[in-house]
Amino acid sequence: MRLLLVRHGETPYNREGRVQGQSREGLTPLGRLQAQGLGRLLRGYAPTALYTSPLPRAVETAHILAGHLGLDPLPLPALAEMHLGEMDGLTIAELRQRYPLFMEAWRKDPAGVQVPGGESLPQVQERAWHAVEDLLLRHPQETVVAVSHNFTILALLTRALGLPLSAIRRFHLDLGGVVVLATGREGQWVLEAFNLREPVPVPQGSPAS
């Protein structure tokens, strides 16, 4: 299977520098342009299935992709972003002010802490990896698109490559970025591409992310 993990397009929270877990934000005009660019890019892979996180920003991205790919988006709850609990919607400055001990622990070992009122990265990785294993059973020889989110995608990437979960800090995935993974010899996963994206013009008044 070739798995195309797609990060959704820009949202108002992204534009404002707010952390975003399972909040209900949709896309900005730039986010919709990013999704259109993704549709053109992914068409060349000729995918046979399209799955999406149930969160609105992912669903909106997936529906834009569907117009280019000729596929119906199928919801897959395990692709949802990390539940950020009390922290959802806060800026980094607000996080540092309200949760200084957590932020310091996160800086040292993001895989070793639990978000207040939310999830831990190991919990995110476990639920999302079960979903990938299910997709592999359903589509062993196909190319599959899965629209998801930053922490979820990076948790899957580290698992696929056999890296410690804390290694997510070594990767930066842009909004509208794509990670391409494929099953190689002896069932091992191979990273074919990271942070693929199609540059898009920035709408007037909307800063780039």
CB 60 within 8 A of CB 36: no
Does residue 81 carry a catalytic annotation? yes
Report the C-alpha gap between 135 and 116 in whole angstroms.
31
Q: What interhelical angle do 121-138 and 150-161 show, nearest 10? A: 70
Question: Pick the catalytic residue: 8, 10, 60, 149?
Answer: 8
8 is catalytic: yes
CA-CA distance, 6 to 47, in Å (whole number)?
13
Which residue in the list 10, 81, 119, 149 is annotated as catalytic?
81
Find out whether 129 and 62 touch, Cβ atoms under 8 Å.
no
Specify the amino acid at residue 3: L
75 vs 50: CA distance, rounded Å: 9
Task: Please check whether residue 1 is in contact with residue 135, taking contact to mean a CB–CB distance below 8 angstroms.
Answer: yes
Query: Using CA atoms, how far apart are residues 81 and 191, in angstroms rounded to an integer?
Result: 21
Cβ 81 vs Cβ 150: under 8 Å:
yes
**Residues taking part in catalysis:** 8, 81
